[in-house]
Structure 1
Amino acid sequence: MTALASIPTLHTERLTLRGPTEADFDVFAAFYASERSNFVGGPLPREQAYRILMQEAGHWQLKGFGRFSLVEKETGATVGIVGLWNPVGFPENELGWDLFDGASGKGYATEAGAAVRAYAYSTLGWTTLISMIADGNEASVRVAKRLGARPDGTFTHERFGPMAIWRHPAPKEASND
């Protein structure tokens, strides 16, 4: 059995959501080397970006859920990472998204976020979900709003500082979106 055997593959109209692999590394490293990664701890050198990619894959193995690599169906390009996250120190399960260069403004984070949230509620049986958004990350605020999330306080992350908590609609409410 391979490490990815337990990671499901989800499909949306334009995207395939699959487990992260080493084949994603170059685009992942380019994201973490760029200013686009400012809100998630970057920019970072390749070696640290590799460690984060391994962390993404390992989260699946340790927690049974994690973030998916987003692959455009039309081009086969990996364009981001979206999914479920709850490392030590987080207040509760989070839905997070990072889009790589050239993928913003296409609705991918919203499309993938809705699919992952549906998976969390229907397959994993979760009843609540948050997104934590760093101050100044207006693009992520717009995604959270499109997903129907509402502000629900703040959380101070030990490395990133104060973050706004956005609470997603409960499963029954989310299914009416």
Structure 2
Amino acid sequence: MNVADLLDRAKARGVRIATAESCTGGMVAAALTDIPGSSAVVERGFITYTNTSKQEMLGVRAETLDAVGAVSEQVAREMAEGALRHSHAQLAVSITGIAGPGGSEFKPEGRVCFGVAAEGHQSTTETVEFGALGRNTVRQQARDRALALLLHGLSNFA
């Protein structure tokens, strides 16, 4: 993933980006802001590691968290949509998952849910089972997938 290319494409389309991250703890925002000139595109990043922060900063509903838990496509959708609502961005990506170590039979280590919200378009979600590759590897792969989702999300904008 060429992050500079992603930023150039967003800038050319006049699209500002927001991130909403849990298990990656800001790695997507860091990858974006490592590139000089990223301030023309990166509007803001939310690190919402706890359920309370997801609710307070992004408006994730307590009912959703209670029903399906933080690591779910429903929460990823609410995170991405909340990042749009609480920013001046037109495109947002969210990440919530279990980087490890740990997990359970129902939510194994390496499960990461993503959401993408684009102004004026239907939000999308996906779950990737990276597997028990170790915390650092899961987080890096989740970061890279989120960057790819942002690049794809730019196709919503002419």
Structure 2 length as normaliser, TM-score?
A: 0.32
Compare relative contact order (CA 8 Å, sep 6+) and give the higher one, 1 or 2.
Answer: 2
Structure 1 length as normaliser, TM-score?
A: 0.29
The structure whose Rg is larger is 1
Q: Greater strand percent: which structure?
A: 1
